[in-house]
Structure 1
Amino acid sequence: MDIAAEQRLVRRGAATAFLLTSAVCAASVVFLPQLIPMPGGLAERLAFGVQAGVPHLLCLVVAIRLVSKGRYESAADIGGAAAGPPSPVLAVKAAFLQNTIEQAFVGVWCQLVLASVADGAVLALLPASGLLFAVGRVLFYRRYAGGAGARALGMAMTVLPSLACLGAAGVLATVRLFGW
């Protein structure tokens, strides 16, 4: 493997994801509040944050199902994780599940942190984050076998919206803390 070439592909995928994520997040903040009212009170904002986490949960359910079905249909894997290492086919599904668990946990918490400190148009980042998470997970899984460069777009589209939510929350919390 030419690691330098693979790293270039990873950077290209991450840069593409950054541009797409930035465009979707910006468009959401500008246009979504004109289409649906953003919640005002803390309880309503937190509920909105939880609801925006539904795509994360759905992706997690799909990943669990992929592993379950893979185990059920494979003589090498039906014994479960304790019976030995997974077959090559199941290994990809198990890796996808593990990564989805990690990303969903971080993503939903970043959304809830933003929901706890934001109000108004910034809350439109929450549904944008859920949408981008789901698209990122599909791209990540479908391109997994192609290597790090192939799955970089999906991975970055999964994590960047979470970082956008966390970054926005950090800015808002800092502004409030210092009264700017």
Structure 2
Amino acid sequence: MTLSIKQQGVFRGMAFAMATAIIVLSFAIIVDPFHYAEISTFSDRFAVLGGSLILPTFFLIFSIGRIAKFRFFSPEDIDGSGLTSGSHDIKILQSLLQNTLEQFVIVFATFVAWALLMPVSWLSAPPLCSLLFAIGRILFFKGYHHGAPARAYGFALTFYSTGLMFFTLVIYQVFAWIG
């Protein structure tokens, strides 16, 4: 099967994002750049978790705020999507919000489980992946209007960093359970 030019562009973005996520997560686990191995209480774990959720929460709030601002200044969209069919621009903003919300749910659950269950020396992963989330969202937002290849790296950076954390967590927990 031959891939189209767009598919090739998406594949390159996805591959580069996966490589980035692997490098950053490996760095977080192996190097412990924030020296979290010294953490000794669950309170400290919760502090890392809270700090790690700031950037993803910001992008969720930002996405909601963009829609609210746009609706206020758009006579066509001010009544909301339940009462209007929505302009082209509001549909794009809604798509960006929907994707950010979906990503946020995965990030939230993964970061909570990671902060509570993984070794403290691995706690640098949530803040570093939070940074990848932010970079990924910025690139996704900027590339969205230019099509799938332009937004692929941003989407995949957001998704793969969290997905890789989740699967690392699952594998670690399975080995912990079986001894």
Same fold (TM over 0.5): yes
Aligned: 1:37 with 2:74: no
Is 2:61 the counterpart of 1:61?
A: yes
- Please name the residue that 1:164 is paired with: 164
Query: What secondary structure sits across from 1:78 in the alignment?
Result: coil
Q: Give the counterpart letter for 1:102 in structure 2.
A: E
CA distance in 2, matches of 1:16, 1:37: 28
Aligned counterparts of 1:112 and 1:165: Cα–Cα separation in 2: 11
The one-letter code matched in structure 2 to 1:66 is R
Amino acid of the structure 2 residue aligned with 1:37: Y
| Aligned position for 2:84 | 84
Post-superposition Cα deviations, 1:74-123, rounded to whole Å, max 9, x if no partner, equal: 11111111221221112111110111111001111111111221113221
Offset at residue 161 of structure 1 (A): 1.3
The equivalent of 1:17 in structure 2 is 17
Alpha carbons of structure 1 residues 122 and 50: separation in structure 2 relative to 1, 3 Å: same
Residues 34, 154 of structure 1: CA spacing in aligned structure 2 closer, same or farther, 3 A cutoff? closer
TM-score, with normalisation over the residues of structure 1? 0.89
TM, length-normalised to structure 2: 0.90
Answer yes or no: is the 8 Å Cα contact 2:10–2:152 preserved in 1. yes
Residues 1-180 of structure 1 aligned to structure 2 (within 5 Å): 4-31=4-31, 33-38=32-37, 39-179=39-179
| Consecutive unaligned residues in structure 1, runs of 5 or more | none
2:83 maps to a residue whose letter is A
- In the alignment, the residues of structure 1 paired with residue 28 and residue 8 of structure 2 have an alpha-carbon distance, to the nearest angstrom, of 30
Distance 1:109 1:91 in 2: 27
Deviations 1:138-180 (CA, angstroms, capped at 9, x unpaired): 100110011111111010011111112211211221121111x
Report the residue type matching 2:36 in the other structure. Answer: P
Instruction: Give, in whole Å, the separation in 2 of the partners of 1:58 and 1:124.
Output: 20
Identity %: 26
Alpha-carbon distance between aligned partners in 1 of 2:97 and 2:80, rounded to the nearest angstrom: 15
Equivalent residue of 2:82, what SS? helix
Question: How many residues were matched structurally?
Answer: 176
Between the aligned partners of 1:40 and 1:172, the Cα distance in structure 2 is: 20
Q: Structure 1 stretch 114-123 or stretch 21-30: which is displaced more?
A: 21-30
Q: Is the 8 A contact 2:36 2:122 kept in 1?
A: no
Aligned Cα root-mean-square deviation (Å):
1.7
Between the aligned partners of 1:148 and 1:35, the Cα distance in structure 2 is 35
Distance 1:30 1:109, change over 3 A: same
Q: Is contact 2:143–2:150 with CA below 8 Å preserved after alignment? A: yes
